[in-house]
Amino acid sequence: MRTGALVASLLLLALALAGCASKGPTASANEVVFTTANIGDPESLDPAYDYEQNGGAVLQNVYDTLVYYNRASATDLVPTITTAVPSLENGGISEDGLTYTFHLKPGVRFSDGTPLSAADVKFSFDRVVLMNGPNSPAWIDGVIAGAEAYGTTPGTAQDRAAYVAEGGVQVLDPSTVQFRLSKPDAAFLYKIAYTQGSIVSSKAFKAPHPERQESWGVASTSDGLPPPASGGRRAVTRDPWADRNAVGTGPFKLDRWVPGDKVILRKNPYYSGSPKPQVDVVVLQKVVDLNTRILMLQNKEADDIYVSPSDVVQVQGKSFARVIEQPSFVIVTGIFTRHVTNTQECPVDAVSQQADCDFFSDVNMRKAFALSFDYQKFVDDVTHNHAIQLTSVVPKGMFGYADLRGTQYDPRQAQAALQASHHPGGFKLNVYYNAGNALREGAAQLLKSGLEALSPSIKVNVQPLDWATALLPGGKKSGFAMYFIGWSPDYAFPDDYVKPFADDRAGQYAAWAKYDDAELKAMIDDALATVDQGQLEQKYAAIQQHMTQNYDYLYLAQQTNPHVEGPWVRGYFYNPMDSNQPLVGHYQYMSKVRS
């Protein structure tokens, strides 16, 4: 919402001055500082809990996974702290596809100087599984023997012992760790390249930390895990110390995090990988206002900045900005919550003035929303052709993509769907997006226009919310009827889109939206058990067809990501699997031309 020109100018100046006053760590004149101006803040720095891109941007720079993508490739994996990527040829993968063996490189140390061992690897993976945080990435490790079964338990000490007894992750010797899977999984190596596969220091995580006292009741436990379920008390699934601290083997170490302001990373003196970082300090600065971010780049106070596809025209052709257009697997959707838990957010019928917390359980209402959205106008005028229409939940270019026509803008059919719905006389509701995301704001405003054109009794209130403190927590609690959100892949396989959106057992958007479709979940299980690639593609096509025919989500766009950096920056490359892309993914490759 815009204010008068004078107020806006004063606000911009205040933001700029505040940003200049608070930006950056204390650094010596000889240190090279790389600053990224982004719009979000991490939710957590715990690899067992954090499941969003701003936290992921930190995790992938302070932690290592066992394998990772080879620079810009989304398919070619390389070893990081291991000697080789396991394969059938090198004996790292068993003939039956159920066992994966990793050999650790010698001499690897954590950022506190502690040597890495296979016990740290086992601790890291067992920790993710055993904490089993709601809405965490723990589901990705479900194929590890015993993990899926454990996920259905309350998480008592006995449940945890039963999982450990399964021996899904075993230490063979100090430098060798082995994974046993419950079933063959062609995506396993890609799954453990995601941030939940980050290897943490078991010594640091098992040490006493006073931050845990309030939620745990103790500062430490013998196994370094939050207390299990006991006596009717639920298992604790958060570690307040790990939420704000990090000890990994990555090229950088956490210096400090000032929530709502910035995260500061420093070069890890014990990093043994390659290449060694060429910048000494990385600052991830939260700056919601676009004009302030642009001003920071212009003044060389930032080295790269987040710019929405809908706003990139403001920096194209500028001498202080280098714009690099990149395709992506990032999708933008509207979430329809079937049952809203916050009664203050339930849509209200225009005639009866009664709240309906099950508003979107009505397929005709979802259809009315989908048909009243002008998809072509969104692509043309909001994204400025930096996106294509999303036709289903799986993006174009990924294995399993179904070439469906997609929903089309049709006000007449939208009106018919509205009349067939539970609220033919109109309604009012709130629609949310994360503050600073111009693309999602544009989507929300376009939806508002389309819906309100159907009836003068329809009132849509579009509002921004802070990402980490409001939109994410509220979405996870099913607290909003509708909001706009994105999804970038954890690993390059269609079930990384289908399960989060369609399977409430996975704990992501389907669970947030109270979306429970037994037929669809059976289709998903059948697909995951299929080995034949041709059959697998057919089954994923049927899943996508089922979801689009039921208008399960508002499928908007598959983004093209503009990367915006200063012309003095060197070393940027783009990998669609990196967290926080199109911003810098891995700062160890970055350098700056000194002026």
| b/e code 446-465 from CB counts within 10 Å (16+ = b) | bbbebbeebbeebbbebebb
Banded pLDDT at 361 (limits 50, 70, 90): very high
Q: Centre a 10 Å sphere on the Cβ of residue 54 and count the other Cβ atoms it contains.
A: 22
User: How far is residue 370's CA from residue 408's CA, in Å, rounded to a whole number?
Assistant: 8
What number is the average pLDDT over the span 134-160? 94
The token pair at 254 is 């956490």
Regarding predicted confidence, which is higher, 406 or 114? 114
Instruction: Give Cα 367 distance to the centre of its chain.
Output: 27
User: How far is residue 436's CA from residue 38's CA, in Å, rounded to a whole number?
Assistant: 9
Radius of gyration from C-alpha coordinates of the chain:
24
User: How far is residue 493's CA from residue 191's CA, in Å, rounded to a whole number?
Assistant: 9
What number is the average pLDDT over the span 392-396? 93
The token pair at 455 is 């009836």
pLDDT > 90: percent of the chain: 82
pLDDT of residue 20: 40
520-550: pLDDT as tens digits = 999 998 887 776 778 989 999 999 999 999 9
- C-alpha distances in angstroms, 157 versus 120, 236, 267, 446, 512? 21, 12, 39, 51, 28
Q: Quote the Cα angle for 282-287-290, to 5°.
A: 125
The CA dihedral of 372, 378, 379, 385, to the nearest 10 degrees, is 170
Q: How many CA atoms lie within 13 A of 115 on its CB side?
A: 8
**Mean pLDDT, the chain, integer:** 92
Q: List, in sequence order, every residue forming a beta bridge with 343; answer none if it has no partner.
A: none
Q: Is residue 18 over pLDDT 80?
A: no
Q: What share of the chain is helix, strand, coil (3-state, %, to 5)?
A: 35, 20, 45
Cβ contacts of 309 within 8 Å, gap of 6 or more: 383, 384, 386, 387, 439, 559, 560, 561, 562
User: How far is residue 382's CA from residue 400's CA, in Å, rounded to a whole number?
Assistant: 28
pLDDT > 70: percent of the chain: 95
285-303: pLDDT as tens digits = 999 999 999 999 999 999 9
User: Are the C-beta atoms of residues 372 and 411 closer than 8 Å to each other?
Assistant: yes
User: How far is residue 35's CA from residue 297's CA, in Å, rounded to a whole number?
Assistant: 9
- Burial of 201: CB neighbours in 10 Å, binned 0-12, 13-18, 19+: buried
476-528: pLDDT as tens digits = 999 999 999 999 888 888 989 999 999 998 778 999 999 999 999 999 988 87
142-152: pLDDT as tens digits = 999 999 999 99
Kind plus residue range of the DSSP H or E element containing 495: helix 495-502
Q: Is residue 75 over pLDDT 90?
A: no
User: Are the C-beta atoms of residues 544 and 392 closer than 8 Å to each other?
Assistant: yes
Q: List, in sequence order, every residue forming a beta bridge with 428; answer none if it has no partner.
A: 348, 459
Q: Is residue 391 over pLDDT 60?
A: yes
- C-alpha distances in angstroms, 88 versus 83, 84, 191, 245? 15, 12, 18, 38
Banded pLDDT at 403 (limits 50, 70, 90): confident
Banded pLDDT at 7 (limits 50, 70, 90): very low
Q: What is the DSSP letter of 237?
A: -
104-122: pLDDT as tens digits = 999 999 999 999 999 999 9
Comparing 26-35, 347-356, 568-577, the range with the smallest average pLDDT is 26-35
The token pair at 515 is 């979306």
447-465: pLDDT as tens digits = 999 999 999 999 999 999 9
pLDDT of residue 362: 98
What are the E-state strand segments in 104-251?
A: 169-173, 176-180
Domains contained in the chain, CATH given: 5-43+246-326+562-592 (3.40.190.10), 53-239 (3.90.76.10), 328-558 (3.10.105.10)
Q: What is the DSSP letter of 216?
A: H
What number is the average pLDDT over the span 223-246? 95
Please provide the DSSP assignment of 163-177 as one string: HHHHTSEEEEETTEE
Cβ contacts of 470 within 8 Å, gap of 6 or more: none
User: How far is residue 1's CA from residue 415's CA, in Å, rounded to a whole number?
Assistant: 29
Helix, strand or coil for residue 417? helix
What number is the average pLDDT over the span 27-48? 91
Banded pLDDT at 229 (limits 50, 70, 90): very high
Q: Centre a 10 Å sphere on the Cβ of residue 130 and count the other Cβ atoms it contains.
A: 22
Q: List, in sequence order, every residue forming a beta bridge with 325; answer none if it has no partner.
A: 562
User: Are the C-beta atoms of residues 289 and 12 closer than 8 Å to each other?
Assistant: yes
Q: Is residue 21 over pLDDT 50?
A: no
The residue among 428, 431, 484, 435 whose CA lies nearest residue 464 is 435
